[in-house]
Structure 1
Amino acid sequence: MSPEIFKYLIVGAYALLVYWLSWLGMRRTRSVEGFSIGNKDMSPYIVGITLAASISSTATFVINPGFVYTHGLSAYLHYGVAGSLGILSAFLVLTRGFLRLGESSAALTIPQWIFYRYNHRGFSLFFAGINLLSITFVVLILVGCSLLMTGLFPLEQKTALVIVLVFVFSYVLMGGTYAHAYTNSLQGIMMMLVTAVLFIQGWKYFDGDVLGSLTAVGREYASAFNRDSSLYFDFFSVFVSGFVITFALMLQPHILTKVLYLRSEKDINKFIGTTVVVGSLFTLMLMIGFYARLSGVEVDAQDAVVREYLLHEFGSSLWGEYVLVFIFITLLAAGMSTLDGILVSLSAMVVNDIVQPLAGDRVNGLALSRWVLVVVGVVGVVLAWNPPPLIGLFAQKGVYGLAAASLVPVLFGVLVRRHIPLWVVVGAAAIGLLLHLALNLFGGVENPAVSATYAIFASLGFGLVGLAMSRDQRPVQAG
């Protein structure tokens, strides 16, 4: 069998398997609640793999290795070490309290959770509005997947963009959360296998001396703080911002709402353990940035580093072409595993937190959730049609702004058991969002993680002062 025929057979088999899993999900989706968070009957191990695959998406598998290729060890420490610690800390701190309040209020989304915690529809609508910033990550994933498609098939990038969109939207439209969870479990297993293979296969480029090999590229390239880098140049930009922003990113709708899939608090430890183990394995994909640099691959566009490295490594031999097909499909799956989660969360949020509060029961929530997916897809393609040069930084501007605005309202809502005055969390959310955008767009702070971290610290300071000023307020139960 020729590699070309093998390629189309494998792609076809993967597509059929995904559609079959989505059909199974559709049979179990009978309401907007089931479409949004399932029926609370999924294994915590399935939910953990689903979440790890959602976190470690196109950013980890396709885009972020390009930052490592360009900036070296400092970028690896930022994403792989500081980021991993931020993820673990967020789940240890937030999971139990978020699930408890989510169960007591039957919340389906983070804005709805905000409404039940703070009892104010306007604040919930504000959160629903700023959560639309997640569209920037949809754009990143679409661009990353289209780059991979052009490496697999002789396609123009814009054609590949439309194909990726149609495929993902079609299977998510069928089954919602169950389609997302079932397909992510399949994709997560594929991602674990490919990560291990690529990590082992490229280790030869270190020639037994990791630090020496990196130093041969450049002293700053091998430094924990790269003074030649405009993004990762000191302890704050590498470690502090990496930890803080990743902690805050766990508050994204498509991530933290996975907690609501769990049956009860008894499943939390299994869920967190699975997420951490699988997610830690996925961070090894960042090593591709080092391997590409040491192998001598010359890449004009940073976002295309992974694609060019894989073609360099596997595209020159017959057996390599067979391997390349499976790897490219898996990397596409990595992007789709996050894209479908964001789509489900965005559609559920628009219906539950914007349309139904304003229109009441006059709309069919399940049908509208699916129509919202179509609208989000059209907007995503329009933004991705002519993407900016560094799609990773573009996505970070929007998503990090959402994270900066979310941290205080969600963190205080989980940890503070007493009444929190609305002005405290509204002010903190506004400071987090606006200060991040001001510093990044107009203040000369090039790294969005740094500007968002400054904004988070200011937001947190405002929130703590507000709590101190209102400490005599009446207590309430948070669940």
Structure 2
Amino acid sequence: MSAEIFKYLCLAGYGLATLWLSWIGMRKTRNIRGFAIGNRDMNPYLIGITTAASVASTATFVINPGFVYVHGLSAFIHYAVAGGGGIITALLVLTRRFRALGEEGGAITVPDWIYRRYQSRPLALFFALINLMSLAFVVLILVGCSLLLAQLFPIDQQTALVLIAVFVFSYVLMGGTYAHAYTNTLQGMMMLGISLLIFISGWHYFDGAPLQALNAVDQNFAAWANPDSDLYFSFFSVFASGFIITFALMLQPHILTKMLYLKGDGDVGRFVGTTAVAIVCFMLMLFVGFYARLSGLEVPQQDAVVANYIAAEFGSSEAGRYLLAFIGITLLAAGMSTLDGILVALSAMVVRDIYQPLSGDRPFQEGRGLLLSRIVLVVIGVVAVWMAYDPPPLVGLFAQKGVYGLGAASLVPVLFGILWKDAAPAWQVGSAAIIALAAHLLFTFAAGVSNPSISAAYGILISVGYFLAIQLWRRLARGSRPEPLGNGGQTNTNFNT
């Protein structure tokens, strides 16, 4: 069997396995609740791999290694060390309490959770609308996957884009959360194997002395803060902003709602541990940026570093071409593993948190909410493909500007809604969210801050400072304050259905 035939067989096998798992998921999906979060009957290890695959995605496997290729060690620290630390910290801080509150209130989306926590429909509607900024990340994934598919097969990028969109949207339409979780488990296991393989296979480029090898490229390329970079040039831009915004990004609907899949508190430890181990392994893909630079590979398009590297590294021999086929399919799976989660979260959110409240908040007839979620999914797909058809030059920064704004706006309402026993008034968390988003946009578009993580971190710090100042004023005025729950204690009795 030739390597070319093997490549097509790999793609066909992956496609058939995905559709089969989606069909299994479809049999378990009978209403919008099952479509959005399942029936809480999934294994915590499965949910952990699903979550890690959703977090890593095309950004870690395809796009972010390009930043390491251009900016060096500072970009690696920003994404792997600071970002990885933010992810694991968020899991430890948020999971148990968010799951408990969500279970008590019956929430199925993040805006729905916010409504039940703060008893404010306008605040929930605001969050549902700004969560549409997740479309920017959908565009990133579609562009990254289309670059890979066009590299692997003799088709142009636009055709690859349409094929990927049709495939992913089809299997998500079938099974919702179950399709997403089951396929993500398959995709996550593939991603674990390939990230370890690529990391080990390229280690020889360091020649036993990683820092010396990086210094040979350029002294600033090997610096923890790169003075030549307009993105990663100081402690705040490299580490602090990376940690803050990645923590906040864990509040995205397609990630945070995974905690609602868990059956009980007994599953939390296994879920967090599985997710953390998988994330650390996935971050090894960032070494591709180093390997491509040390190998002397010239890549004019930063977003295409990974696609060019694997083609050059594994495409020169017959045996390597067999491996290249499997690696390419796995990198496609990495993108789809997040794309399907975002699509499930967005479609459920549009129906539950925008359409239903605006139509009078009447309960859906059996199956109607599920049908509407699937219709919305198709509309989202058409819009996303249109946006990705002619993407901006650096799609990674384009996606960050949108998604980081969402993360900045979400931090105060979700974090303090989880950690504090008594929910703050809705106007306080709502105004903090608006301040965070506005500050991010102003620093990005008016002040000319190049790194979206810096502008988003500024917005977060300003909004947190504003919110805590209000709480201090309330304490001085009333002689009391909300009490933090240090160990995820009892749920808030004000969190009503």
Aligned-residue CA RMSD (Å): 1.1
Q: Which amino acid aligns with 2:152?
A: L
- Tell me whether 1:302 sits opposite 2:298 in the alignment: no
Shift of 1:238: 0.3
Alignment of 1:25-64 (within 5 A): 25-64=25-64
What are the superposed Cα offsets for residues 344-397 of structure 1, whole Å, 9 maximum, x if unpaired? 000010011011112234671000000111011111011101101100000000
CA contact (8 A) 1:254 1:342 kept: yes
Whole-angstrom distance in 1 between the partners of 2:481 and 2:87:
33
CA contact (8 A) 1:111 1:349 kept: yes
- Tell me whether 1:242 sits opposite 2:246 in the alignment: no
Q: Which amino acid aligns with 1:212?
A: Q
- Tell me whether 1:149 sits opposite 2:149 in the alignment: yes
Q: Which amino acid aligns with 2:425?
A: P
Shift of 1:478: 5.3
Aligned to 2:487: none
- Tell me whether 1:380 sits opposite 2:384 in the alignment: yes
State the identity %. Answer: 62
CA contact (8 A) 1:424 1:462 kept: no
Aligned to 2:219: 219
Shift of 1:421: 1.6
Aligned to 1:468: 472
What are the superposed Cα offsets for residues 301-344 of structure 1, whole Å, 9 maximum, x if unpaired? 00000000011111111111110000000000000000000000
Q: 1:393 to 1:474 in 2, by over 3 A?
A: closer
When structure 1 is superposed on structure 2, of 164-173 and 419-428 the one drifting more is: 419-428
When structure 1 is superposed on structure 2, of 7-16 and 39-48 the one drifting more is: 7-16
CA contact (8 A) 1:427 1:462 kept: no
Shift of 1:13: 1.0
Whole-angstrom distance in 2 between the partners of 1:132 and 1:246:
19
CA contact (8 A) 1:6 1:322 kept: yes
Shift of 1:469: 2.4
Shift of 1:419: 3.8
Aligned to 1:327: 327
Whole-angstrom distance in 1 between the partners of 2:174 and 2:425:
41
Whole-angstrom distance in 2 between the partners of 1:15 and 1:201:
27
CA contact (8 A) 2:474 2:481 kept: no
Whole-angstrom distance in 2 between the partners of 1:294 and 1:167:
36
CA contact (8 A) 1:413 1:478 kept: no
Aligned to 2:437: 433
Q: Which amino acid aligns with 1:400?
A: Y
When structure 1 is superposed on structure 2, of 6-15 and 207-216 the one drifting more is: 6-15
CA contact (8 A) 1:405 1:432 kept: yes
Q: Look up the SS of the partner of 1:470 in the other structure.
A: helix
Aligned to 1:140: 140
- Tell me whether 1:103 sits opposite 2:103 in the alignment: yes
CA contact (8 A) 1:417 1:478 kept: no
- Tell me whether 1:412 sits opposite 2:412 in the alignment: no
Whole-angstrom distance in 2 between the partners of 1:432 and 1:354:
22
Alignment of 1:192-271 (within 5 A): 192-271=192-271
Shift of 1:474: 9.6
Aligned to 1:395: 399
Shift of 1:272: 0.2
Aligned to 1:6: 6
Whole-angstrom distance in 2 between the partners of 1:50 and 1:40:
14
Report the count of equivalent residues.
479
Runs of 4+ in 1 over 4 A off after TM superposition: 473-476
Q: Structure 1: where are the runs of 5+ without partners? A: none
Q: Which amino acid aligns with 1:211?
A: L
Q: Look up the SS of the partner of 2:90 in the other structure.
A: helix
CA contact (8 A) 1:253 1:342 kept: yes
Whole-angstrom distance in 1 between the partners of 2:290 and 2:454:
24
Aligned to 2:81: 81
Whole-angstrom distance in 2 between the partners of 1:478 and 1:152:
54
Q: Which amino acid aligns with 1:410?
A: V
Q: 1:461 to 1:80 in 2, by over 3 A?
A: same
When structure 1 is superposed on structure 2, of 281-290 and 360-369 the one drifting more is: 360-369
Aligned to 1:116: 116
Q: Which amino acid aligns with 1:429?
A: A
CA contact (8 A) 2:471 2:481 kept: no
Whole-angstrom distance in 1 between the partners of 2:60 and 2:327:
15
CA contact (8 A) 1:436 1:451 kept: yes
Whole-angstrom distance in 1 between the partners of 2:218 and 2:251:
37
Whole-angstrom distance in 1 between the partners of 2:322 and 2:481:
66
Whole-angstrom distance in 2 between the partners of 1:261 and 1:436:
31
Aligned to 1:341: 341
Whole-angstrom distance in 1 between the partners of 2:494 and 2:153:
52
When structure 1 is superposed on structure 2, of 7-16 and 74-83 the one drifting more is: 7-16
Q: Which amino acid aligns with 2:434?
A: A
Q: 1:219 to 1:478 in 2, by over 3 A?
A: farther
Whole-angstrom distance in 1 between the partners of 2:363 and 2:96:
32
Whole-angstrom distance in 2 between the partners of 1:392 and 1:20:
32
TM-score computed with the length of structure 1 as normaliser: 0.99
Q: Structure 2: where are the runs of 5+ without partners? A: 483-491
- Tell me whether 1:453 sits opposite 2:469 in the alignment: no
What are the superposed Cα offsets for residues 417-469 of structure 1, whole Å, 9 maximum, x if unpaired? 12412221011000110110110111111100000000000000011012222
Q: Which amino acid aligns with 1:303?
A: D
Q: Which amino acid aligns with 1:477?
A: T
Whole-angstrom distance in 2 between the partners of 1:199 and 1:404:
32
